[in-house]
Amino acid sequence: MRIKNVVIAGGGTAGWMAAAALSKLLGKNLTITLVESDEIATVGVGEATIPTLLTFHQLLGIKEAEFMAATQATFKLGIDFQHWLNPSTSYIHSFGSVGRECWAAGFQHFWRRGLDLGIDDDYGQYCLELEAAKANKFAHLKQTTLRYAYHLDATLYARYLRKFSEKLGVKRVEGKIVEVKTDLNNGHIQSLLLASGQQIEGDFFIDCTGFASLLIEKTLHTGYEDWSHCLPCDSAVAVQTQSTQEAIPYTRAIAHAAGWQWRIPLQSRVGNGLVYCSRYCPDDEAKRSLLANVEGEAISDPRLIKFRTGQRKQHWNKNCVALGLAAGFIEPLESTSIHLIQRGILRLLQLFPEADINVQDADEYNVQTKMEMESIRDFIILHYHLNQRDGDPFWRYLRNMDIPPSLVRRINLFQQSGRFFHQGDELFGEYSWAQVMLGQGIKPKGYHPIVDLMTATELQTFLHNIRNPIKRTIDVMPSHHDYIQRYCKSADH
């Protein structure tokens, strides 16, 4: 039987991203219904994204300036990690490429030899995006392409995508799901029963019900792979504040005694939150700590969010795919939540069933998703594990805990020789891993011998010829604030 009726359970960012993509890219062949309840609040605090969202928007034909004005968005060039190595250090993980590489060796090898020769410029000075972030500048450049993402209001983003989807025929049904009915023969989901008595039938279901995971877990009993032993933060408290300064083009992640604080600047306000481990910090203390460390007057009440890091044992089970928080949770340190929703949607589109559910398609979806989640997990653990913070039991635990063998191998390889190898289509590439490993205190002991084909003078000229054009470009770029005002100013700002 051909798959014709797709039912999306839950709205929010995940639900409406799925609705937008399915209706735009497969909509002529499908009837798409989204069920959500105004009574159920979405988490909606993840307001920072990564550059892959631009690709998603290009597929959907979304106009950037219009979307940014509608969601009070600003540009994002990276994340400033403050006090992560120790309380006196900071570094930026930017989205851009760093320096120039060759076929055998990444740029960090050339930079590392420069240190031996007394050329002690910071690794980040060879990255245009990083230097633009530090200078609070942004522009769409003609000569080169900046890699950037957005800070956005997640609630406004879901609202924007709802309008987009409804124009393409998506039907929204208001109602609270009280029962999920399954086929007694094969266990597949048949319909959703709403509190009103209405029954929503479907051939294929997408679970976007958040941490409740009404379909994938409470109905299909899929199981959960718990990562809290190596990502022990289990709580967050979030609050919005008035802006006290012009928006900067990067996220701030500030390490605290039992976790870290985010600051995400939008056009009209700032999103703030404290991610922490409740074993080391009671909830009331976390709220007090956050409110004591925000800038500007609070314009919302602090919201407490409880979570457990990990992923479903299957992201696609029977005729149901889970997206967003229903599929799992890796804390928002590198702003990967919306990316994982997007990747799940695109992977589903690539493997979308024509007729009956194909077990091989579901298996492939699950293998790919699991690999991507584990790669991102390792990257997040990297930030925590490589710390030199004394006196905080939380950070001491992280420094001494067992970490996945896949991460041990990468750390040891980079530490010895500066080498890194990208695997498959994993999200974070060599520049990202190098920026974080260097920022977290790893200085490679050696470098690739191909670098020694350059004389000291040639290497100095090579490095100089990378730095100087970056400086010249930064000098002529407008401020981030001025560019926002001209390009995508929100009507509410």
pLDDT, mean of each 10-residue run, the chain (493 residues): 92 97 93 91 73 97 98 97 97 97 95 95 96 98 93 95 98 97 96 97 97 97 98 96 96 98 95 97 97 94 95 98 97 95 97 89 97 97 97 96 96 97 90 98 97 97 96 97 97 69
pLDDT value, residue 236? 96
Q: What is the pLDDT of residue 38?
A: 86
Given a contact cutoff of 8 angstroms between Cβ atoms, the answer to whether 13 and 46 are in contact is yes
Write down the pLDDT at residue 45: 63
Tokens of 369: 């998703």
- Tell me what pLDDT residue 151 has: 97
CA-CA distance, 45 to 182, in Å (whole number)?
33
pLDDT for residue 47? 86
Other Cβ atoms within 10 Å of 1 Cβ, number: 6
Tell me the pLDDT tens digit for each residue of 15-45: 999 999 999 999 888 999 999 998 766 655 6
Identify the pLDDT of residue 343: 97
Give tens-digit pLDDT for 224-283.
999 999 999 999 999 999 999 999 999 999 999 999 999 999 998 999 999 999 999 999
**In the prediction, which pLDDT does 41 show?**
64
C-beta separation of 430 from 414 below 8 A: no
Q: Looking at residue 43, what is its pLDDT? A: 56
Domain with CATH 3.50.50.60 in the chain: 5-47+153-226+311-374
Q: Which residues of 107-120 are buried (b: 16+ CB within 10 A; e: fewer)?
A: bbbbbbbbeeeebe
CATH class entry, domain 5-47+153-226+311-374: alpha beta
Q: What are the residues whose beta carbons fall under 8 Å from the beta carbon of 486, sequence distance 6 or more?
A: 478
What pLDDT sits at residue 248? Answer: 97
Residue among 214, 169, 165 at smallest CA distance from 192: 214
- So what's the pLDDT on residue 44? 55
Whole-model pTM: value is 0.96
What is residue 424's predicted lDDT score, i.e. its pLDDT?
82
The b/e string for 135-158 (b: 16+ C-beta within 10 A; e otherwise) is ebbbbeeeeeebbbbbbbbbbbbb
Residues in the chain: 493
Q: Please tell me the predicted confidence (pLDDT) of residue 370.
A: 96
Rg of the Cα atoms in the chain:
23
